[in-house]
Amino acid sequence: MLPVVRALGSALYTTYLFNQYDIISTIGPVIVVGSVLAGLPDLKSLLHGLVWQELHLIAFEIQNQITGYEEDKLSKPTRPLVAGRLTAQTAQRIYLVLIVLSLWNSATHGLLACSFLHLVSMVAYNECGLSRFWATKSFIGSMGYVCYCWGMTVIFDQGRPLSQTSIIAVVLSGLIFTTTGHAQDFRDRDGDAAIGRKTLAIVLPQTFARWSLMVLMLAWSAGLVYLWGPPLVVSAIFFGLATYTTVNFVRDYSQEADRVSYWWYNIWLIVAHMLPFFKRLSESRIEVAM
């Protein structure tokens, strides 16, 4: 019995290590998106959504870590492959199994189109090497992000197709990631340079790259506040997060500071994904009034 418990504990810890850097950047924001657009899920829907996302996300992470092995040795040494918890051959087998399971799971939720789009973007990002070039890295990454938001929202909404508001919100999530997602690349400059990856954080002068991120985040903050109409206090918090995050990016160029700034970027992103709630709230009041 004890060896089984140890094996299970080791498998769960390995799963955590695959997700370690995704909890605040992907899992948290996507749960927020689903909850805001479809309403708070019951426990069954929440578990179904998490399983669906994990099948897709861990498959992505496995292949990402196989292709980015040299980078991880420098910047993320706790990841399972570089830490020696899995061989590349074993990881590749698990990857193929997860692809099959993710497609089967998506079929049960009516999300096959979403799953196929995720598969195409995942292969393009990892196996085809499009993550190595700044012009395609954030855009291809945003396709995966859109798929996570799409799938989670549908599952939380008991299989109903995306509403018009949900479609707008999910597309905007992709556009936000496309235009500001390079915030994650400042912290990984050494690792990216080691494998020849050309991110905006490397190819652009540091001053321009960081100040342009500030402009983009503040512009998105203004546009999203205008579109979704949150209360004044929420708008102030949202702008405050954008300002604090970007000031940190332009004030300290060290990669250690960039890791902290990226954490705050994800908090800003989570709040950005909460804003459609106020549009839904306004629409529900109109319906009640009618």
Q: Is residue 289 part of a domain?
A: no
Rounded distance, CA 255 to CA 191, Å?
A: 11
Structure confidence by residue, pLDDT tens digits, 70-80: 778 877 888 88
How many Cβ atoms are within 10 Å of 160's Cβ, its own excluded? 12
Q: Is residue 11 part of a domain?
A: no
Rounded distance, CA 13 to CA 83, Å?
A: 12
Show the CA angle centred on residue 60, arms to residues 241 and 261, nearest 5°: 20
Structure confidence by residue, pLDDT tens digits, 115-159: 999 999 999 999 998 888 887 888 999 999 999 999 999 999 999
Find, among 255, 265, 249, 56, the residue nearest to 180 by Cα.
Answer: 265
- The enclosing H or E element of 64 equals helix 43-67
The predicted structure's pLDDT at residue 148: 96
Q: Is residue 7 part of a domain?
A: no
Q: Is residue 270 part of a domain?
A: yes
Cβ neighbors of 89 (< 8 A, separation 6 or more) are none
DSSP letter at 1 equals -
* pTM, two decimal places: 0.90
Rounded distance, CA 59 to CA 102, Å?
A: 9
The predicted structure's pLDDT at residue 118: 97
- State the virtual CA torsion across 41, 42, 44, 46 in degrees, nearest 10: 30
The predicted structure's pLDDT at residue 282: 67
Q: Is residue 3 part of a domain?
A: no
Q: Is residue 15 part of a domain?
A: no
Whether the Cβ atoms of residue 73 and residue 88 lie closer than 8 Å to each other: no
Whether the Cβ atoms of residue 267 and residue 274 lie closer than 8 Å to each other: no
- Token match 């020696």: residue? 84
Taking 70 as the pLDDT cut, the residues of the chain under it are 1-2, 282-290
Q: For the chain, how many structural domains are there in total?
A: 1
Q: Is residue 65 part of a domain?
A: yes
Q: Is residue 259 part of a domain?
A: yes
* Torsion over CA: 24, 27, 33, 39 (sign): negative
Range of the domain at 166: 21-283
